[in-house]
Chains A and B, each alone.
Chain A
Amino acid sequence: MFISYQFIVFLVSVLILYYLVPKKLQWIFLLIFNFVFYMYADIRYPIFLVITTAVIYTAARIIETYENVKINKSIKKKKKFIMMTALFIVLGILVCVKYTNFIIRNFNVCLIRTGHESIPFVDFIIPMGISFYTFQAIAYLLDVYWGRCKAQKNFLKFLLFMSFFPQLIQGPINRYNDMSESLYERHDFRWDRIRFGLERILWGYFKKLVIADRAGIAVSALAESRESYTGIYVIAGMIFYAVQLYADFTGGIDITIGIAESMGISMKENFIRPFFSKNIAEYWRRWHISMGTWFKDYVFYPCGISRPVKKITMFCKRHFGMVVARRVAVYISSIIVWLATGIWHGAEWRFVVWGLLNGIIILISEELAPLYHMFHKKFSGLSDTVFYRGFQIVRTCILMSCLRLFDVYGSVRNTFRQFFSIFTEFTDKKLSLQGLEGLGLLPADYIILLCGVIIMFLVSVINRNGNIREKLLNKPYVVRYIIFTGMLFAIVLFGTYGRGYDAAQFIYNRF
């Protein structure tokens, strides 16, 4: 979606007009353009968005009217009823459009086994960004319900929060409290802000077009002819996919945040150098943060302290003792969260397996914590060495890369088959230049990929102690100019877009 001439033209015109319209009308204007964008994608999409928005808006307003009333049992019940109804409706829409066919497919498996006719699939349209805006809506509703944030009185303003166009493409899941203020504020034209935003957008495009889409060519080639690319090529696939996913996802978020920034709207960061994480739990605190915290705040905690879970804890305490009881809440909530996270990524079993595996690894490492503790007590000083940190980082990367194979190979069975071929067929195939060229990339492409990864790494490292763009600000104009222009040229020349050039296609052929 980000990658089309139309989007660039749209973006540029929105930015120019945003600062030309009267400041009082800026947010209205933005709302209109959100809908222009959304309807351009598909004329039917806004219907879903508006329904979800209206339901949540109304529920939040009603819940808030109870705020000043003395709270008693019946009001509490009413509040809860309204919250649950709204939740049911918006989640219902999400499940309907996204998961109906998944449910039917699994249902059909049972039906066919028992000799019944199968149910035909339903042809739902899936509105772009529905997972993101539904989650934003739920967070807002629960925050109002728990009294953590004030309900927005102006429906159009709330609609603006829900429909902000760049976040409909690739997220992140913004919180109303974080974003609302700057979203409705009046923004003066400030060159420094725009420049920061543009730099970020450009960086995002660089990552997406030059790195991610290039690596993506190799990944899809590896997945497509997976039978011939086993063994060491599965490891190559892990690396390519790690590069692709990181560059694509963070690049998309960079573009989103950059767009918001150039309009003076602040958005929280969604990634903090996730590949430098010491363990998987930390990785998930640094990768797709808005999703991780959403699941933590609105699933994990509420679930962990809910009455049913408490009852189970009590039961375990009585029958199995403290050791088990202390773990019950954490285990139950973890499994639920990771199931949900898996399903959220896609309506397929491989995502369910993927989510559960994540959860299981995190729980195992939690169980092993005392062991680690003992180990580090014995070899004190080891945990601070560069070597050990490097080991932890590499370990996390390898684990995550293995898990990501579910994404690459499309089904649970294929994933396991490919994964085990690493051990059984490792020596069967040699990683050769010829084999790599068979993936659809030229040697020059690999060089560009390598350079791209090195640049990403360096930027990451520089960003560690302070924003790289602010550091750039102190550099002489010429330096900044070269960097800016160089990036633009890299995107235009080395970007993977357009139809590509095949000289053979030009060869004059009889006419």
Chain B
Amino acid sequence: MYTAGKIIKAGLSITVFILLIWAAQRLVQPKYADELIEGNFTAEYYNETTDHDVIIIGDCEVYENIDPIYLWEHYGITSYIRGNAQQLAWQSYYMLEDTLRYEIPKVVIYNVQALMYDEPQKEEYNRMTLDGMKWSKTKYEAIKASMCNNERMLEYIFPIFRYHSRIMNLSKEDLKYYFKRKKVANNGYYMRIDVLPVSESDVADMSWLIGDTDAEKDEIIDPWADIETEEEENEISLPEGNAEEKLGNLSMEYLDKIRNLCDENGIKLILIKAPSLAPIWYDSYDKQIMMYSRKYNLRYINFYELLEETGIDYETDTYDGGLHMNRNGADKISEYLGDVLSREYEAQDHRGDMTYDKVYEQKRQFYYEMIDAQKKEIEQYGRVKNY
């Protein structure tokens, strides 16, 4: 029969085993500290100590283009970006659901670019988006919705099965950030201060745009077809086709779900489209979103149409030739958003509130240290290296 000693022995054995597996798992998981820091965004949210009036969800078009620290400094708005590399519509939905487990914001801003994808795109991006999420039913559902064909739920539950081969090329980073993740973002904002003008980049030939933004304003959102050939050369899976392109049906369903979730919780939903020069944002997409926002009485801010108001200049405000904004550009977009939020959505100015002041003072410190560090790197290497 089983004696107490045997039970203790068995219990101890199993505990040690689980601990070892956990330890090994943590070791081989990518730390996303010095390279590929995008994998750290999702997890960083859980370190927040104060709530946020505005939650921003979407892909890189939010986390590189909106600066919550700016919003704090100039409007006193508390906001957080829950965005990830190619965060698809369903992932944004579950990201919001996950956020609502911790707080109920007043406003949710969703960037519509990712609606063009109607199926999972790339395992690695799924990983970077989902691995950091805390375990809950929401995470399970998010994984289920996101998995590519050859992915396995088991590999999400036990990431060791996914990353085991990293044991062959561990770096110092893996030990340094074994216990504590490196903080890489400012309320979900991935900051870059360097500049790569569109004209010096071969990512997209945008000369038509820079040349005469004032003269032919109509064309600003019109002539995307011109760069189609360029885009095909980049190894990005873009929807082929013409101006009749439609946004994904499944994605639109998830937009409905996001909208419903906001309604249920008394949250106001704003749709935005960041002014990135790629991927393509067809006219037909835009029309579809316009119809949608009209139908449900949502605000839709298309920054392509606001280049003049925001003052975005693709020669100075982007760090990668027009795909993403640098801090200059992000602050211009944030200025516009902050104005809208505080005027039309009565977003509270929390400046002066001791709790927030204290927290945001630290955030600001981190923010300016990062700016200095990036400046230093530019001086030293001529480019931003470790961010």
The residues of A that contact B323 with a CB separation of less than 8 Å are: 510
- Assuming the contacts A510-B323, A511-B59, asked whether A505 and B164 have C-beta atoms less than 8 A apart, the reply is no
Among A5, A444, A492, A497, find the residue whose CB has the most chain B CB atoms closer than 10 A.
A492
Residue B49, interface by CB 8 Å: no
For window 1-31 of B, CB contacts with A under 8 Å fall at: 9, 13, 16-17, 20-21, 24, 28, 30
A489 to B123, CA, bound (A): 25
Minimum C-beta distance from A500 to chain B (A): 5
Residue A424, interface by CB 8 Å: no
Q: Are B123 and A511 in contact (CB under 8 A)?
A: no
Q: Are B128 and A506 in contact (CB under 8 A)?
A: yes
Q: Are A481 and B168 in contact (CB under 8 A)?
A: no
Residue of A nearest to B155 (CB): A498
Minimum C-beta distance from B322 to chain A (A): 11
Picked from B39, B154, B161, B278, the residue with its CB within 8 Å of the CB of A510 is B278
A445 to B169, CA, bound (A): 11
The residues of B that contact A444 with a CB separation of less than 8 Å are: 168-169
Residue of B nearest to A511 (CB): B86
Minimum C-beta distance from B306 to chain A (A): 22
Residue B178, interface by CB 8 Å: no
A492 to B24, CA, bound (A): 10
Chain B interface size, as a band, is 35 or more
The residues of A that contact B128 with a CB separation of less than 8 Å are: 506, 508
Q: Are A498 and B36 in contact (CB under 8 A)?
A: no
The residues of A that contact B152 with a CB separation of less than 8 Å are: 5
Residue B124, interface by CB 8 Å: yes
The residues of A that contact B59 with a CB separation of less than 8 Å are: 511
- Assuming the contacts A442-B169, A495-B164, A501-B165, asked whether A508 and B24 have C-beta atoms less than 8 A apart, the reply is no
Fill in one digit per residue for B183-225: 1 if any A CB lies within 8 Å of its CB, else 0. 0000000000000000000010000000000000000000000
Chain A interface size, as a band, is 20 to 34
Picked from B36, B60, B168, B234, the residue with its CB within 8 Å of the CB of A506 is B36
- Assuming the contacts A492-B160, A493-B28, A499-B123, asked whether A508 and B165 have C-beta atoms less than 8 A apart, the reply is no
Among A444, A503, A505, A511, find the residue whose CB has the most chain B CB atoms closer than 10 A.
A511
Q: Are B124 and A506 in contact (CB under 8 A)?
A: yes
Q: Are A500 and B165 in contact (CB under 8 A)?
A: yes
Residue B55, interface by CB 8 Å: no
Minimum C-beta distance from B240 to chain A (A): 17
Minimum C-beta distance from B156 to chain A (A): 12
Residue B150, interface by CB 8 Å: yes
> Which secondary structure dominates where chain B touches chain A?
helix
Q: Are A501 and B163 in contact (CB under 8 A)?
A: yes
Residue B127, interface by CB 8 Å: yes
Residue A467, interface by CB 8 Å: no
- Assuming the contacts A5-B152, A489-B20, A508-B128, asked whether A498 and B9 have C-beta atoms less than 8 A apart, the reply is no
For window 117-160 of B, CB contacts with A under 8 Å fall at: 123-125, 127-128, 150, 152, 154-155, 160
Q: Are A498 and B169 in contact (CB under 8 A)?
A: no
Minimum C-beta distance from B91 to chain A (A): 12
Residue A477, interface by CB 8 Å: yes
Minimum C-beta distance from A9 to chain B (A): 9
Q: Are B38 and A508 in contact (CB under 8 A)?
A: yes
Among B13, B150, B152, B165, find the residue whose CB has the most chain A CB atoms closer than 10 A.
B165
A459 to B38, CA, bound (A): 46
A507 to B35, CA, bound (A): 8
Residue A509, interface by CB 8 Å: yes
Q: Are B164 and A498 in contact (CB under 8 A)?
A: yes
The residues of A that contact B234 with a CB separation of less than 8 Å are: 510
Minimum C-beta distance from A2 to chain B (A): 16
Residue B236, interface by CB 8 Å: yes
A509 to B279, CA, bound (A): 12
Residue A344, interface by CB 8 Å: no
Fill in one digit per residue for B55-77: 1 if any A CB lies within 8 Å of its CB, else 0. 00001100000000000000000
The residues of B that contact A498 with a CB separation of less than 8 Å are: 155, 161-162, 164-165
Minimum C-beta distance from A285 to chain B (A): 39
Minimum C-beta distance from A469 to chain B (A): 18
Residue A494, interface by CB 8 Å: yes
Minimum C-beta distance from B21 to chain A (A): 8
A498 to B320, CA, bound (A): 34
The residues of B that contact A510 with a CB separation of less than 8 Å are: 60, 203, 234, 236, 278-279, 320, 323
Residue of B nearest to A481 (CB): B13
A494 to B155, CA, bound (A): 16
A412 to B332, CA, bound (A): 70
Residue B167, interface by CB 8 Å: yes
The residues of A that contact B312 with a CB separation of less than 8 Å are: none
**12 CB-based A-B contacts, threshold 8 Å:** A5-B152, A492-B161, A494-B167, A497-B164, A498-B155, A498-B161, A498-B162, A501-B163, A501-B166, A508-B85, A511-B60, A511-B85
Using a CB–CB distance below 8 Å, which chain A residues touch chain B? 5, 442, 444-445, 477, 481, 485, 489, 492-501, 503, 505-511
Closest 6 CB pairs of A and B: A511-B86, A508-B38, A508-B85, A506-B124, A501-B166, A493-B167
Using a CB–CB distance below 8 Å, which chain B residues touch chain A? 9, 13, 16-17, 20-21, 24, 28, 30, 35-36, 38-39, 59-60, 85-86, 123-125, 127-128, 150, 152, 154-155, 160-169, 203, 234, 236, 278-279, 320, 323
